[in-house]
Structure 1
Amino acid sequence: MLMKEKNQWSNLVKGKIHLLLRYSMWAPTLTRIPTRFVPYFTFVPSFIIYFPFLLLLLLKSFFSFRVSSLAKIERSNSTRIQSES
C-alpha cells in the first residue's frame, strides 16, 4: 500500500515537472518539440526569447568588422596618397 502511494506521488511530481517544462520553455516557441523527448530537469531555452539577442550580436560583429575593414582601407589609401606625393 505504501509503495503504491509513493509511486502515485512520484508520478504526480513528474507530471507537474513535465507541465512546468512544457509551458515555461516550449510555449513561446513556434515549432513545438514533443516534451516526451525532453528529459526531466533539463533546461532548454526558447529560441524565440534569445533570437533578438543573437541577432544583435550578429549585427554588432558584422558592423564592427565592416568599420574596421573600412578603417584599414582608409589608412592604406592615405599612406598610398602620401607616398605618391
Structure 2
Amino acid sequence: MAETKPKLSISDWLAIERTRLANERTFLAYFRTTLALLAGGVTILRLEAFQDIRWLGYVFLALAPMVFLIGIWRLFSVKRRIEDRYQNLNE
C-alpha cells in the first residue's frame, strides 16, 4: 500500500509564505546595515571633525562588505532549507 503525502492546507501554505517573506526582510536588514556602515565610514573619513577616530571609519568600511556577504549567504541558506523542508509536502 502506497503512502499518501499530506496536502498543504491554506494555513500551512500561508505560514510557509510568511517564513519566506521574513527571510527576505532579514536580508534587507543586513543590506540596510551595510549601507549604514558605508555611510558612517565615509562620513568619518571625510569630515575633519572626526580626525581623532579616523581608524573607526576604516573599520566600518572593512565591515560593510563582510556584513553584506553574510546577509547573502544567510538568505540563500535559509531559502534552501525552506525549500528542502516543504518541497515534499507541496507535491
TM-score by length of 2: 0.45
User: For the pair shown, which has the larger CA radius of gyration, 1 or 2?
Assistant: 1
User: Greater RCO between the two (CA within 8 Å, min separation 6)?
Assistant: 2
